[in-house]
Chains A and B, each alone.
Chain A
């Protein structure tokens, strides 16, 4: 099927097989390999991207379902040559270890903080409870999100 989708601000038109997931479309057709595939059944959250402002599991969404949408992936977050504020806070907080779950956490947290800039630890933990990290025990990730929220409140 022919689709047009905007990814990180750039418009892509092309033909994709109807069964192809959005995750595979991003990774294979657009070479945006920052989006990782961790379970392919919507539990681990590693493949989370933002579609029209909402966090979406790109392993559960077909590429054709994203036709006409605006998609943001991890590659779309960094500012010119640097890290975005959440990424910077996570670097400062030693948030991650192996890094495989990282893009999903960052996309989920980005969408969540936009909607809930004043969220506290409990809310953040709940918002991120659909993302699995096997390395860290989560505390460093939560601390990174809390730090980013605090910095954004201080302007």
Chain B
């Protein structure tokens, strides 16, 4: 299946090197790992949102044939070391520190909270064991909403905090907020809600943990976005030195932010493996995934906007309350990013931003593709609402308020330069592709026939990686490392801390390195997923295109210098006269001098060269270069059936600028996949709790995902980018689709329902809700 040859790989839709194994069932996911003597874990989980745990009786479970061990939360605590959430610790998150345990001990804090672990010869037997565990609970009043959580009398979910504040209230002002609002011709007030929904990768969380007592080494096969972050968590909680923990990962069945580090369950499974002296596998089932893996969003916003009568957007004053669920996680970190991104590509005179994060008895808040995305939803929604009231076309409203691309660049009021931002071009192009005037005529004609079509646009910018800060010494996303080595057989091996779970890094990074080094694509190997051999890294935040693409480019360049330096001794030519093309090293102008790279590699490995550096390996780092923004505007045309509330997406067009493309087919896959998740978020998906904190969507019959009949063809066009860096202008494209699709769709739906006077202040619009909105709007007339 080899033989992919191209003049230049970067920029071409090279077929993925991951696919031959994936298409034949030969991929190796965590549930495919089978170790000798391996046991299976299952968890006893809380059926209650909030309760004291009075007793846990494991005796019946322990007596079951096939059950090898069972541990209560207290027993797991005795086997481990207390510690914070690894991701929060890594990111230096500060604020209130709830005291909690891997498995519940004193209290359960959400439906699905793990209480005990049962380890047995098979998953079937482990679940049998869970069924006979007796847990005695004493109900506590559930804290089922952020509003109740913030009431003075609400029962604290964590006793040591004394209240339910996950992140203390804070307010920041940029520019003169009060003067801007006092002087504005118009001030609008909106309340906007974003509902709880979740990642739902097709493969849930899981691990296989194996402890070698003789060596004192713990090996964990994980499904993770970062083997190193997982290792930090395992080492910390198991009280082990980092070098005694090895985390390995193979193929990963999606994540979208869910699988960062090791979860409480994975850490408990590792502790159990060490205690019983046999490998333990835990792979969550779909019920566990939906109930307990974590959820995202559920934010409510109060937005004030100051504008002129002509539609100049002057100021925003935004207050957000985040429902972070029970245990610490991403929810407390999101407000800072929202605040920074709130202005988007628009020029504001003033911005006020206030946030509070509340602890509730729901599953914990996790990162989900574009974790701060609600700021874009709110901004793009509010723009349409205001444009309507001002009688200004929403496209024109946006165009009028985009910061101009100037030199020096305009600054976001929150501090970053809007350098190379092509929002205006993307808006112009998308509306041209859709031909909005022609659509308006068709829309008017359709309304005559009782059919309701609508068009909506929304625009986003994504810091992927973001521009180089004028005063910062390092790049926008820290550093990225890579080790590159010319192997003895001539393979160029790239060791990266990226942990792909669908992003195709084994293809894209090889494309870049093959071009830069001068070997065929198939001669580059991208090695991932082993803490013993890859440098620190994390796949997330749309960082890999720029950061890892960049370090692959610069690293391959450095390795090439080193290889040519060595080859110059073999070939008796100056390194400056040597070049590498198609896997051969040759003296410029003398094709007959060509020596295969593999031959040079073999010679270097022979150990014959005492005075020459024959170690053909480099450790490269990259700071992001000049960085830059990913930008885009999306446009949807929808038809709403006002009887059933069903929304059909007639057309969806994305115009994007994500810099120089590494592999257009892979880029477009990321965009379409993100848009599909946005479509799901608006039309289908909701992580539903009742007023007592009971989870209502624990199966795929209740938590509805979009299917092939729900997602239309998504047209993608790429804009010519504004290059900022001499070498690296690839930008991340992982999150933009999910960030901008929800406002695009909601704007289109509201436009379709304009004849009824419907105004939409929420994101989740299943058919029943659309029917309600129409009824409410028409009843008021």
Contact = CB atoms under 8 A, between A and B. Distances in A.
B67 interface: no
A83 B254 contact: no
Interface string B681-722: 000000000000000000111000101110101100000000
Contacts of A142: 708
B203 A41 contact: no
A96 B672 contact: no
A36 B204 CA distance: 11
Nearest to A31: B34
B766 interface: no
B29 to A, nearest CB: 7
Interface residues of B, number: 53
B502 interface: yes
Interface in A26-68: 27-28, 31-41, 43-44, 46
Nearest to A17: B124
Q: Decide if the interface of chain B is mainly helix, strand, loop or mixed.
A: loop
Contacts of A139: 672, 711, 713-714
Contacts of A137: 669, 672-673, 675-676, 711, 714
A132 B669 contact: no
Given A40-B286, A128-B708, A33 B32 contact: yes
Nearest to A98: B502
A2 interface: no
B676 A100 contact: no
Given A77-B24, A137-B675, A140-B669, A100 B15 contact: no
Contact of B202 (A41, A130, A132): A132
B666 interface: yes
22 contacts: A20-B124, A34-B24, A39-B700, A74-B25, A83-B1, A90-B19, A91-B19, A97-B254, A98-B201, A99-B23, A100-B203, A126-B708, A129-B707, A130-B707, A132-B705, A134-B200, A134-B254, A134-B256, A135-B669, A137-B673, A138-B676, A138-B708
A37 B286 CA distance: 9
B708 A141 contact: yes
Chain A interface size band reads: 35 or more
B204 to A, nearest CB: 9
Interface string B13-24: 101101110111
Contact of A96 (B19, B32, B200, B286): B19
Given A33-B25, A83-B1, A137-B669, 15 more contacts: A34-B24, A34-B26, A36-B29, A39-B286, A74-B25, A75-B25, A91-B19, A98-B202, A98-B254, A100-B253, A124-B708, A125-B709, A136-B673, A137-B672, A137-B675
A41 B673 contact: no
Contacts of B285: 40
Given A19-B124, A132-B707, A137-B676, A99 B701 contact: no
Contacts of B154: none
Nearest to B716: A139
